[in-house]
Structures are given as structure tokens and as C-alpha cells.
Structure 1
């Protein structure tokens, strides 16, 4: 390892240590050890821990949130009798879902464009983030990640990269030893530059949107560029990991791809092990399949987040469809396994110059936009897009102009954007509404 790489790794390890001590306290190392001990424990131990956490959460929700006090009627309800929490419930009952035990300053606002195409805002608390990170540290090590080791991230760039605060992200990426490739805007120039940079720094792992990973791998393959980085593993997240995505990435990068399943609303739900089983994160999540028999018949996934006390999500219908496995995993870990996961996909758009725009870019534009209940963007051709919206009373003409400009900024100023006002956007058979659809294939004439 070149001396400058070794020094940067040491700096990064010190940075991670200082960050975790600041966020989680001086007992951080023991917390990490306890996390690993629990997630490696026999199933009986895991289920006992989970049952106690669930009991505490239900008591807290009943005592401190108006919504659950009215819904549950008791501190010790049968969870199977609790109606699932829908996204529409969160919008309509937003304030009543907030715990009175937390001040406004203690709530951390977060948002998702929603894989159903419906923007959603919610609150989380600092303990939620601390516990989430401990679990992520544990599961990412399955793919070879470790503190201080260089990592390539193909993800949505921080939203204020173009703002004056850009230096903060540079500093953060430096001490974390992370190298970002903007998965929302993959150009040949950017991908080539990152390939050359990684030849210098040899990342140990890659963390990427599934479709962005595939596009980067395809670019390298098509141009005869061979990464010689000695990767330990690749973590694919945020979207469905299609078999052809995985196959190409493993061929190009000569490393195993690990599927990581989660949601911004509830954190890390599951992680794939070396044997290819998607294990459920029972430390943070209580997961149910809304099906007569979850082991033989797929159903919608219901998630209870066990650590977010600021705004409890109990039996939250996340919008995915899945099925459980009754078979023990050959890897030896006793965490339950999701046998099948259906319906997570984000389209990749293409511009007339050949630039690839990740569908998540468009989703981000709806964060905080008032007047929109649902949306769907369809790229019909290189010159034409359709924006379908279900609007409410806060919709204005300036909102329409803003959204059209965002689409044209990404795809080209001469792209025609047709705004269609609809009553509803139907859910497809997969169970998940497609919020970005591109009908433009890679073989289109540019």
C-alpha cells in the first residue's frame, strides 16, 4: 500500500472513531460488540430481545402519541390486531403520530420521494440514527467494509453540492475515505475520471444504487476498462437488484455483490450474506408479511421500526412485496430470511447526448414541494416527457413551472414536458407504483 494511502487510512480510522464517540458516547465500542453479539446469537435470543423491544415501543406509543393512544386502547395490544400504518395515515395524522416526549428541536426531519411516487415527510430521533448506524456497520462488514478503508459510493450526490456548503461534504468524504460518483448524473466523462481515480486509491468496497452500479459496469465493459482494485465486496441498495445487474457487476469488478434492503423511513431492513440469503435485521426491525401463509404466498411487507420513538411507525406498509423462508441459512446465522423480494425498481433516463440520469434525481425534486399528492414521470422519447400529478389545493402555476424546469435541466431545455392532471395513479400488479418510467432504450439513435 502506498504511504499516502496508508496515512489516509489511519486518518480515516481516527475520524470514524472520533465521530462515533461523539455520537454514541465513550462506550461506543461496547455498543458495537453488543450489536454483533445479538445479531450473531441463536434465534431464541434474538426473538426474546425483539419481543421486549416491541413491548417497550408499544407502551411508549400508547403513552405519548395521540394517534396510537386512540388506536391501541391499551399498552399491551395484540400486534396482529393493529391496523397497518399507511402512507396516507402519516400525511393525514402527521402531528398526532409525533411523540409528546420529544421537543421540536429533538426531532430530526427526513423525507422520501416514496417508491410509490408519493412524497412523504417524517421525523426520527438521534437514538434511531445511532442504532441504525451500529447495525449498518455490522452488516456492511459481511461485504468486506471496515472503518478507514477506501470506499467508492455511486449514489445521489448531496443535494447542496453546488452550494457554499460543498466544502463540508469534501471534509466529510475525506475523513470517511469515501469517493462519490453521482449516480443521478452518470456521464462518460465522470465515469472515466472515477475509474482513473480508483486506479490510484483501490477501493475495498463499493456502495451503489443497483441501476447505477450496472450502468458503471456496462460503461467499463463497453470501453475495455478493467478495474484491478482487489475489491472485497459490493453493496447494492435502494432498488431491485436484477439478475443481469448482479451478473455484469460481478464479472467486471471480480467481486461478490451483496444486496442490502432498506428504506429511508425505517432504515436497514435486511442484508444478503455470503450464501446469498437476505437476512432480516431483527435488532431494529419487526417484519411481517401480510399474507395467509408468509412462507408460501407472497404478501405486502409490514415493518415496525423498534428504535424511532420520536414518530413511531408500527406495522408500516412500506410498499414492497415479499415472502419468508422456513429453511435455515447455510451461512450459520440464525436471523430470519426473506426468500423473495418483489417490486423495487427505478428507471434510468437517457438524454440526447447519451448522459444517463438516475430516476432518483427526479424523485428528489419533489421533496418539500407543496401541492403534489402523487407523481409519475414518463420519458416517452428523447424529446418528450409526461409528468402525471395528483394535486391538492396548494398547487400553483409556479409549482408547475418549477417541476418542468427541473426535468428540462436534467434532460435538456428543448425537451417537451406535458403535465397531466389525474385523479389517481394506479398501482401495477407488482404492488409498487412506478414513479419514474423511461421508454427510451440504450439502442436508441442519439
Structure 2
């Protein structure tokens, strides 16, 4: 897909066909025209104003940040009560008024909002004082098999741009610096076999590389072009950047950059290690949601700072109790910037822990652990234990003869391991892998190895390493 073209479905089919059948240089012109339009959005006075505010609030004291959050929350609650039919009904049925929600501590008075609630009450969640034609309809990528739609208003889009620019600034990266992007943009046809597999967005000083054409035959071309570009930063999905970095490690190639910006997928320790080594820099990971209710960014010290100005995060443990520092829980988030379709106490399905400490980087935004996984991507063992994907990366570390892998939990006592073999793969590799996996999931778990030609990404270009079909049903 040409970047962002999916937001214009009526034009999409005709424009995509014209774009794909055009010469390389004309395609660069199309992508750059999009970049010019997008850059105007990113550099307008409203975004710059919001960015200046965020540059101040990140240094607020904890009490100042809490007051800032509560002020934004009270405005949102009043708006939701007066203009959003779903929330007006929720308040009335619980004998509440906006005055009952004065701080984030009062949010417990309201029920949670689930994905199913959004589907059932979609129209009633849209604010009556907003015209839907002026809102942007978006959807999750649907990696769990059940995409979700919702609306963004203009303010949340402007704020998103400001938050991203602040995150970049933590790494010393600005809009005048070149970056290479390895995400889900289908910038050349999937059927194309011959390069170039990248397109230039000159106004944004950005080069889009296809995530769908990366293989041992094409990766030398990727490396050569990236060296020619000499970007200051690499931006992409962890799995995509890791594919490139692993090829570089196998061929003793290093390309120093100032930062690697990752997002949209969990990042595992082995990926972080290889990426940071081959690109000779730190990863600045970003946690966020298409629902725009919560976000956290990694600073120069490697800590994840919660964006307090973005949304309020609560953590819900397995017993259904709101937990505090040190205990793992599901993220329940309230977005503070989207008035067109507010989502209050939204159950994200993501899990993390709060950290009750300060960061030496000087930013005062609260800390949390990395969001390693979706809860429904954890492995549930026969004896009832939940295993993070990070635990299961270790058996694969010595598996130099595996090109790609994917773990699918079909039942509580059955795992299927999809494997794309390299030429040197042998029965000994299978024996070692099965032994190491059994030591972590238990010998009651049946494990089947399924050797395949390839493991496909989703339509959004994302890659799910663990697919659990049992956790959601058992929780």
C-alpha cells in the first residue's frame, strides 16, 4: 500500500493500480508528494505548540504531572457525560455525575470498556457534537484475528505527531535527519521479484523499504542502499529490523546509526541484542495503541517512561484487582486527547509492571517495565503457568540453522513449532530444540515440529512469533 493510501478507500484501487504500473522515478514522486502533505501536518503551528508544551511537562514533578492529568481527565469526563450517549448511559446507570470523577483514583467507580463493548456500542461511543465526516475512521491491524474500528479526532492526530517528535528528540533525532523505514508499507507490488524494493520520500527525508521482499537474495541490495543513504536512524517493526540485523551479523556487516526506533510489536531480548550490535546504537522502543489511549517511550537509559499527558494507565491483576508498583497486570487505559470517540478504562489486553523509581535521564515521567507481549500471546502450560515469549526465545538462540520460526499453541497441552530450515538443519537441531523447549514448558506439553517454506506476515506487515489459541478462552 502506498503510505496512508488505505485512508482513502474509494481512490485506493485505481490509484494503487496506476502507482504499481508506473516507473520507479514516478513512484518516488508519488511517495514524495504524500510526504509533502504529511510534512505540512507534522510541521504546522498547532503541532509545534503541542510539542513545546510536552517538552515542558516531561520535566514536571510527579505532583505537577498528577494535577495536569486530573485536569485533563475532568474535562474529558464532563465532555463524555454531556456528548457521548454510551457514557451518559453508564453514568446514569451507576448513579454517577461528572463531579464524582475528580481524579484518576476515582476511575474505579466506572466499569471497564472491552473490545466487545466498543463493537456493540460503536455509534453510541461517538460524540454527538462531532461530525463523523470530520473524524478519521481507523482500525487495529487485527493480528489477533478480530480487528477493531474506532474514530480519531483532529486533536488526537496532532498530539500523536507531537509525542513522536518528542520521542525522537530523546535520541537527538530531528526532522532534518534522514531515516530508513522498515514497516508494513506495501510500496512495491508483492509479486515484484526485481528491485529496487525501496522508495524515497524526499520532503520527510525518509526512505521506505519493503518488509515483504526481505530474503537472502535481496538483503545484500538492502544493505548496499542503506549504506548509500547513510541514515541517522532506522525506524521499523522489531521483527523486520531484526531480519536485516541478523543477516548483517551473519555476514559481519555493521552500519553505525544514532538510533533505532521500534514500535508496534513486542521486542525480545535476542532481537534487541543483535539490532543494537549491528547498528552500533541504542534502541528507542515505543509502546502505543491504535486506540490512542496509552503510550510509553524508551529514553537514552533504556527505561520506559509512561506518557502521562497521553493517557492514564491502571494495572489489573489476575484477581481483578487494581495493582500498584511491582505486580504484573493488564493495562487498563483512558485516553486523554480523543474527544471524538473517548475510550475510558479500556482493557487493552497488554501487560506490564509499574516501577517506583526515578530515571537518571532527567525526565520525570513515571516508569514501567517493557510491554513484552499481548496477554493472549502468552503460553499457558498444562499446570496453569503463563510463560512470556521472552522465556521461549532462549531455546532458539543457538539454532543457527533456523531461518524463521513461529510457536502456535493449539491446545493447553499442544504446541506446533513452524520452522523454516536453513540448508544445514539436521535431526540434531530438532533434538536440541525439543529438549530445550520441554525444559521450559514441561514434558506434559506435546510439541510438534512443522517444517514450512515460509511464515507469512500479516497484511499490516507485522509478524506474530507466538500465537495462542487457548489463553483468551481460559482467562
DSSP-derived class of the 1:149 partner: coil
CA contact (8 A) 1:143 1:205 kept: no
CA contact (8 A) 2:200 2:207 kept: no
- Aligned mates of 2:372, 2:45 — CA distance in 1: 41
Which of 295, 317, 328 lines up with 1:298 in the alignment? 328
> Does residue 426 of the first structure (1) align with residue 470 of the second (2)?
yes
- Aligned mates of 2:64, 2:470 — CA distance in 1: 42
> Does residue 231 of the first structure (1) align with residue 257 of the second (2)?
yes
CA contact (8 A) 2:35 2:202 kept: no
- Aligned mates of 1:430, 1:193 — CA distance in 2: 46
Flag structure 2 segments of 5+ consecutive residues without an equivalent: 1-33, 192-197, 379-388, 390-401, 408-415, 422-451, 457-467
- Taking the TM superposition and a 5 Å limit, the aligned residue runs for 1:162-181 are 173-181=201-209
- Aligned mates of 2:420, 2:46 — CA distance in 1: 55
> Taking structure 2 as the reference length, what is the TM-score of the superposition?
0.66
> Does residue 248 of the first structure (1) align with residue 274 of the second (2)?
yes
> Does residue 260 of the first structure (1) align with residue 283 of the second (2)?
no
- Aligned mates of 1:181, 1:199 — CA distance in 2: 13
- Taking the TM superposition and a 5 Å limit, the aligned residue runs for 1:227-376 are 227=255, 230-266=256-292, 269-291=295-317, 292-344=322-374
> Does residue 112 of the first structure (1) align with residue 152 of the second (2)?
no
Q: Which has the higher contact order (CA 8 A, sep 6+)?
A: 1
DSSP-derived class of the 1:320 partner: strand
Change (3 A) 1:30 1:130: closer
Q: 2:245 maps to what in 1?
A: 217
> Does residue 55 of the first structure (1) align with residue 78 of the second (2)?
no
- Aligned mates of 2:129, 2:406 — CA distance in 1: 39
- Aligned mates of 2:358, 2:177 — CA distance in 1: 32
Which of 34, 43, 50 lines up with 1:31 in the alignment? 50
Q: 1:197, CA displacement in angstroms?
A: 1.0
Aligned Cα root-mean-square deviation (Å):
3.6
> Does residue 145 of the first structure (1) align with residue 168 of the second (2)?
no
- Aligned mates of 1:99, 1:121 — CA distance in 2: 15
Q: 1:207, CA displacement in angstroms?
A: 1.2
Q: 1:20, CA displacement in angstroms?
A: 5.8
- Aligned mates of 2:344, 2:419 — CA distance in 1: 42
Change (3 A) 1:109 1:146: same
> Taking structure 1 as the reference length, what is the TM-score of the superposition?
0.70
Change (3 A) 1:259 1:81: same
Q: 1:201, CA displacement in angstroms?
A: 1.4
CA contact (8 A) 2:294 2:333 kept: no
Change (3 A) 1:221 1:425: closer
CA contact (8 A) 1:183 1:358 kept: no
What is the aligned length? 355
DSSP-derived class of the 2:168 partner: helix
DSSP-derived class of the 1:240 partner: coil
Q: 1:223, CA displacement in angstroms?
A: 2.2
Q: 2:219 maps to what in 1?
A: 191
